Amino acid sequence: MQLALWTYEGPPHIGAMRIATAMQGVHYVLHAPQGDTYADLLFTMIERRDRRPPVTYTTFQARDLGGDTAGLFRDAVLEAHERFRPQAMLVGSSCTAELIQDDPGGLAKTLGLPIPVVPLELPAYQRKENWGAAETFYQLVRACAGPHVPKPGTGRAPRAEGRAPSCNILGATALGFRHRDDLLEVRKLLLALGVEIRVVAPWGATPADLAQLGEADFNVVLYPEIAGQAAAWLRRSFGQPATTVVPIGTGATRDFVQEVARLAGLPATLAEEALRAPWYARSVDSTYLTGKRVFIFGDATHAIAAARVAAEEMGFEVVGLGSYSREFGREMRAAAALHGVEALITDDYLEVEARIAALQPELVLGTQMERHVAKRLGIPCAVISAPVHVQDFPARHSPQMGIEGANVLFDSWVHPLMMGLEEHLLGMFREDFEFNDAAQPSHLGAPSQSGREAAPAAQPMPVPAAETPHSAAGAPLLAWVPDAEKELRKIPFFVRGKARRNTEKFAQERGIGTITVETLYDAKAHFSR
């Protein structure tokens, strides 16, 4: 294991909690020590749910380890069943309780409860949150829909004459990045095509709903990290095909509609009246953003989709693409190859930070962690993927998918660049007597001459000499003196990265180890020829 300050994914039992919390009629009994109830805060504080997750913790303490912890678990299961009366129950261990090997599944089986009890084997020291969510959903689907699998050789019954084609929507969970809003947009797309929606799961579904999954004609998989495994089992068991296109961005939404229409046997229609992003991207106000260098990192679904949108719809240049979803490494490498870059597959945020610093992009599209990294490096950033903070669970409708999702993407990606320009202009004038922090606001009237003279000029923040990423790559050590860093910050942010790269290249070719203001201007003169 690696000790880390931040982590992209929690342990797999957090993924199981996301499934249980998204569903109705399901209760999760978690064998866990006192203190593991911190997970409740993820849903009540970060996601801002109005009720706590349907989870019962055994909360054993250190003194219990010398006694019968298995008895504590059995009592917790019986009490949870008596109190909540769920339709199905999940049982498992947290990462800490896994070490005492009490076998929650076997213990629960001996109780003879009159409901399905699904044991979860979630190896916390080999797997992580998204895998835990996928495994939990898969096990629930098998337990509930398994008894209804057709006998071998019988095949699927043909759709009744005159009945509309139907589908299930799979993958949306609690604590998911914009899952609630994505569902609304995808529903609109499917209903506009004339497709009947039978079951949405796990979001809002009951175990009884899962038992009916096999009745639909096909499945819509919104997030392969969560629903891919269950959809593959439904294909093998019920012969249900599944969608492969995730409708994030204008082009992907059109492709998604075409794919659904093919599976449903219906004409493809898409109402694009509310689609504004393509026109905005071609407008005069956006043309100066063309060619901006962007680094993308997140879960596989959102990172791959963001790279396509950035390159094809925004006119950005993708200079870096990566994911912490190791299970989707093959898909990530294939997507990176399309953009001519090498995929970064890692769950070490320090490695991601080093890649961003080396590439010096003009925009970062990432997670909550990349938001912090970009802020330290002075680079505009937009969040496109979990892990996220409370501000990424807005009260307003803010999807990533469908027509409205494409509009949201344009706003959330372009605005950081435009606000960065505004901040640059403010920085240019920060020493002006009218704009320093002590100046009286202009709407309150003109300040007196004496007040103007008394207002001290705001001093720029001191910037220490910085070692550049070249040293990490084995190149000669380069350092910027504070005056040179200060002068560099006067250059507009959208060309500052290029100016830094050119200056470092100029210095490296001439064996200059310390970059001064003179070096900066010598490099500018050299590359201006």
Catalytic residue (one of 75, 102, 217, 285): 285
| Beta-strand relationship, 479-480 and 466-467 | antiparallel
Residues 52 and 16: beta-carbon distance below 8 Å = no
Using the structure block, give the residue that is written with the tokens 């959903």: 137
**Among 302, 306, 218, 305, CA closest to 265:** 218
Is there a catalytic annotation at residue 285?
yes
Residues 327 and 272: beta-carbon distance below 8 Å = no
CB count within 10 Å of CB 163 equals: 9
Tallying the residues shown for the chain, one arrives at 529
- Give whole-number Cα distances, 352 to 121, 311, 320, 323, 358, in Å: 31, 21, 10, 9, 10
What is the spatial distance between Cα 367 and Cα 487, in angstroms, rounded to a whole number? 31
DSSP string, 165-197: PEEEEE---TT-TTHHHHHHHHHHHHHHHTPEE
36 among annotated binding-site residues? yes
Q: For residue 507, what are the contacts with CB-CB under 8 A and spacing of at least 6? A: 478, 513, 515, 519, 523
Segment (H or E) for 93: strand 88-93
C-alpha 416, offset from chain centre: 18
CB count within 10 Å of CB 514 equals: 13
CB count within 10 Å of CB 290 equals: 12
What is the spatial distance between Cα 120 and Cα 70, in angstroms, rounded to a whole number? 16
Maximal CA-CA distance, the chain: 94
Task: Show the DSSP H helices in 87-171 as ranges.
Answer: 104-109, 129-145
What is the spatial distance between Cα 210 and Cα 143, in angstroms, rounded to a whole number? 9
Residues 148 and 208: beta-carbon distance below 8 Å = no
What is the spatial distance between Cα 263 and Cα 271, in angstroms, rounded to a whole number? 19
What is the spatial distance between Cα 101 and Cα 84, in angstroms, rounded to a whole number? 26
Helices 349-359 and 368-377 cross at an angle (nearest 10°) of 40
Segment (H or E) for 209: helix 207-210
Q: For residue 353, what are the contacts with CB-CB under 8 A and spacing of at least 6? A: 373
What is the spatial distance between Cα 281 and Cα 408, in angstroms, rounded to a whole number? 13
239 among annotated binding-site residues? no
Q: Mapping DSSP to helix (H, G, I), strand (E, B) and coil, where does residue 91 land?
A: strand
427 among annotated binding-site residues? no
Residue ranges of the annotated binding site for [4Fe-4S] cluster are: 36
Residue ranges of the annotated binding site are: 36, 420-421
Catalytic residues, by residue number, are: 285
Residue ranges of the annotated binding site for substrate are: 420-421
